[in-house]
Structure formats: C-alpha cells, structure tokens
C-alpha cells in the first residue's frame, strides 16, 4: 500500500526541483551577452555566404566527378 504522505512529499520535491531549474535557467540567461542588430546581420551574411560558397564547391566537384565517371564508363564499353 502506498503512503499518501510519502507520495505528496515526492510531489513537493518535484515541484521544488522544477522551480529551481527555471530560476537557475533565468539566472544563466541574464549572464548571456546578446549580439546587437548589426552583429546579427553580419553573422547572418557570413553564414549565408559560407553556405553559398560551399554549395558551389560541392556542385563543381559533382560535375567533375560525373564527367570523370561517365568517361570511365564509356571507355570501358
């Protein structure tokens, strides 16, 4: 049989743990140095530029790989 006093104690402990978690989380978020608007724009441009450059490199590599493999396959026939 379950003792109701023990069960309510665990619920109180769980609630206290959740409250402590959120309190600690808010405290940590106050320590964060958030970027300003210009830093956010600069970082976004850098990320998008990197994605475009890497995408183009992969595309060019794919074209050369396709040409090489097609010549190899045609040469074997």
Q: Which domain holds residue 48?
A: 35-77
User: 19 and 39: one domain?
Assistant: no
User: 71 and 40: one domain?
Assistant: yes
Residue with the bigger pLDDT between 55 and 72: it is 55
Instruction: Encode pLDDT of 13-61 as tens digits.
Output: 788 888 999 999 999 999 999 999 999 999 999 999 999 999 999 999 9
User: 20 and 56: one domain?
Assistant: no
Measured between alpha carbons, how far is 25 from 35 in angstroms, rounded to an integer?
19
Measured between alpha carbons, how far is 70 from 62 in angstroms, rounded to an integer?
12
Counted domains in the chain: 2
Query: Would you place residue 73 in the very low, low, confident or very high pLDDT band (cuts 50, 70, 90)?
Result: confident
User: 27 and 53: one domain?
Assistant: no
Query: What's the predicted TM-score (pTM) here?
Result: 0.57
């Amino acid at each position: 049989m379950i003792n109701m006093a023990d069960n309510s104690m665990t619920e109180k402990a769980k609630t206290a743990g959740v409250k402590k978690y959120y309190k600690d989380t808010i405290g940590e978020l106050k320590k964060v140095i958030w970027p300003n608007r210009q830093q956010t724009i600069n970082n976004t441009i850098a990320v998008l530029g990197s994605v475009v450059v890497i995408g183009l490199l992969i595309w060019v590599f794919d074209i050369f790989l396709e040409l090489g493999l097609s010549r190899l396959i045609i040469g074997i026939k």
